[in-house]
Amino acid sequence: MKQEKNRATWQEIWKKAPQVSLDQTPGYTSWLPRLLGTEKWEPPQRTPKEAWREYEKELYTPLLNYARTHPSPTYAEMFQSCFPGLTESCCFAANEFRILSFEKTVDIRGKIFADIVKKYLPAPAIVELGAGTGKTLLSIRENLPPGPDFIGLEPMPSAREIMKIFSRTMPDVTIGECDLLTSPPWKAFTKKIPEGSIIYTSFTTIFLKGLNCTQYISDILSTSPKAVISFEPFPGLLDNISLHNLLIKKYIDINKYENKLFHAIKTNKNIKIIYIYIQICFLQAHFFHAQLLYGPKNKI
């Protein structure tokens, strides 16, 4: 499957993107009136069955149909064909707002994540829980030297099929089923997660209403990972000094996203935390990700 390679660093790509002044940012998002309280907004109420249908039928099925009927598409081509609104967005990094195309957004995220994963190589495998269509996992793979295997675990059948299409020429990539609300999340995966692997999530746990954080952490530690990385929005890492931080916290709050995992990790006595915090906002200028690294005290 064709993948576009860009050997520039994420900082180099970022600096070439058009810059947006602070007073121009409201033109790139509909969220400011909601965050400031001048426009009333409530998140849509969905049952678990409705949420499953939305992801499986409305999001992943059109993408799968495109991937099956087009030879060697890129992820950007696939997403932009099915969702034409995914063209460019106002993003935030290094205290700057810049405009990035969807393709460059995916590329930069993969490079940022790969830079962190590199620090803990060698490892037998890099495992993503809740891998979606695999765009992050395969982007990380593109930015790492050969060596580890890559395991993408995902609950949605159509998303797993997309991963299989994009990775069909990659013998070092394995796709399997998972459910982060069960214990262990990889119960349906037919292979064992190798001891000493690097396990990560990317914008996954924040959407899991009812996540048993204590059990989730215990299950991950039971695999004896070399490192665990959460590329997730953790509002607890943000101070209350800047207005932008407050807007980000408000965004997470009014969307009623899961935000208990950071506290569970922080208070777990079996974990050693080494976190590298970079405030990056992609696709939505008020929805950031932090990089939180942790693992068993005797492993990291």
Residues 6+ apart with CB under 8 A from 220: 199, 228
* Residue 2 predicted with pLDDT over 60: no
Give me the pLDDT at residue 210, please. Answer: 86
Contact call for residues 151 and 126 (beta carbons, < 8 A): yes
What rounded mean pLDDT belongs to the chain?
A: 89
Nearest to 125 by CA among 209, 47, 198, 70: 198
* Residue 1 predicted with pLDDT over 50: no
Nearest to 207 by CA among 252, 247, 157: 252
Nearest to 128 by CA among 225, 48, 257, 11: 225
Residue 292's SS3 state is strand
Distance CA 126, CA 141 (A): 9
Average pLDDT for 214-220: 96
Give the pLDDT confidence of 148-168 residue by residue, as tens digits: 999 999 999 999 999 999 999
Give the pLDDT confidence of 274-284 residue by residue, as tens digits: 877 776 776 66
- Of these ranges, 145-149, 203-207, 247-251, 259-263, the one predicted with the greatest mean pLDDT is 145-149
Distance CA 64, CA 133 (A): 9
* Residue 3 predicted with pLDDT over 70: no
Give me the pLDDT at residue 235, please. Answer: 86
Give me the pLDDT at residue 283, please. Answer: 62
Order of strands, sheet of 173-176, starting from the edge strand that comes earlier in the sequence: 19-20, 96-101, 88-93, 271-281, 288-296, 227-232, 198-202, 125-129, 149-153, 173-176
Distance CA 293, CA 275 (A): 5
Average pLDDT for 253-281: 86
Give me the pLDDT at residue 248, please. Answer: 87
Give the pLDDT confidence of 122-154 residue by residue, as tens digits: 999 999 999 999 999 999 999 999 999 999 999
DSSP string, 262-288: HHHHHH-TTEEEEEEEEEEE-SSTT-E
Buried b (16+ CB within 10 A) or exposed e, 284-300: bbbbbbbbbbbbbeeeb
Give me the pLDDT at residue 234, please. Answer: 87
Contact call for residues 114 and 144 (beta carbons, < 8 A): yes
- From the number of C-beta atoms within 10 Å of its C-beta (0-12, 13-18, 19+), residue 181 rates as middle
Contact call for residues 178 and 207 (beta carbons, < 8 A): no
Distance in angstroms between the alpha carbons of the first and the last residue of the chain: 35
Give the pLDDT confidence of 52-105 residue by residue, as tens digits: 889 999 999 999 999 999 988 899 899 999 998 878 888 888 888 999 998 888
Q: Do the strands 96-101 and 88-93 form a parallel or antiparallel pair, or are they unpaired?
A: antiparallel
Give me the pLDDT at residue 65, please. Answer: 97
Give me the pLDDT at residue 224, please. Answer: 95
Average pLDDT for 202-220: 92
- Residue 160, amino acid: R
Distance CA 142, CA 146 (A): 9
Could you check whether the bond before residue 145 is cis, i.e. omega within 30 degrees of 0?
A: no
Angle, helices 61-69 vs 157-166, to 10°: value is: 30
Give me the pLDDT at residue 27, please. Answer: 84
- Residue 132, amino acid: G
* Residue 207 predicted with pLDDT over 50: yes
- Residue 116, amino acid: I
Structural domains of the chain ordered from first start:
101-296 (3.40.50.150)
